[in-house]
Structure 1
Amino acid sequence: MDAAFPDLLKPFLKYAGTQPITSEASLQELGLDSMRAIELLFTIEDTYGVSMPDELLTDRTFATAGSLWDTIESLRGRAA
């Protein structure tokens, strides 16, 4: 994950508090619900210049900070 990614996630995670967000952090346990996930998706697409296809809009993609970051990196690699 890049250094800015945890800060990007924090506003969407109502239970994150001040704890650091690691790649293993469960986004659902930290309070990411379906409405916030949609908002997060738009923020990710705007921030990282990617477009997430429907087939990647799964619980697996949004399971952890690391799984979401890996998806972003994969999409960025396709665009390059």
Structure 2
Amino acid sequence: MWDNSYEEILRRHLPFLSDEEELESETNLRDYGLDSLAMVELLSAIEGFYGTRLAEDALTLETFETAGSLWRALDASLQTAN
């Protein structure tokens, strides 16, 4: 599973996810307000915080579909960097 920083960054970009709601791997990000502009902002925040860049082939709507799919792409990027 992901770390607390990932969840904090993700929550800041999901305006319709309340503080009481649990963020799960299957949580659909678009259902909670992640639109195309927010995707770009989220990508920038994640890459800046973790000091990595997601692979170009990971920059798809499918990657940004759920919290889990985005984490897997980020984790793969971090593993490649190490």
- What TM-score do the two structures reach when normalised by structure 1? 0.92
Deviation sequence 1:7-61 (CA, Å, 0-9, x none):
1111111110121211111101111000000000000101111112332111110
The root-mean-square deviation of aligned C-alpha atoms, in Å, is: 1.0
Aligned length: 80
1:63 paired with 2:65, answer yes
Identity between Structure 1 and Structure 2 (%): 35
Distance in structure 2 (CA, Å) of the matches to 1:28 and 1:15: 10
Between 34-43 and 3-12, the greater mean CA deviation after superposition: 3-12
Find the residue that maps to 2:28 and give its secondary structure: coil
| 1:27 matched residue in structure 2 | 29
Deviating runs (4+, > 3 A) in structure 1?
A: none
Pairs within 5 Å for 1:1-80: 1-18=2-19, 19-80=21-82
Letter in 2 for 1:68: L
Uncovered stretches (5+) of structure 1, i.e. residues with no partner: none
Letter in 2 for 1:8: I
Uncovered stretches (5+) of structure 2, i.e. residues with no partner: none
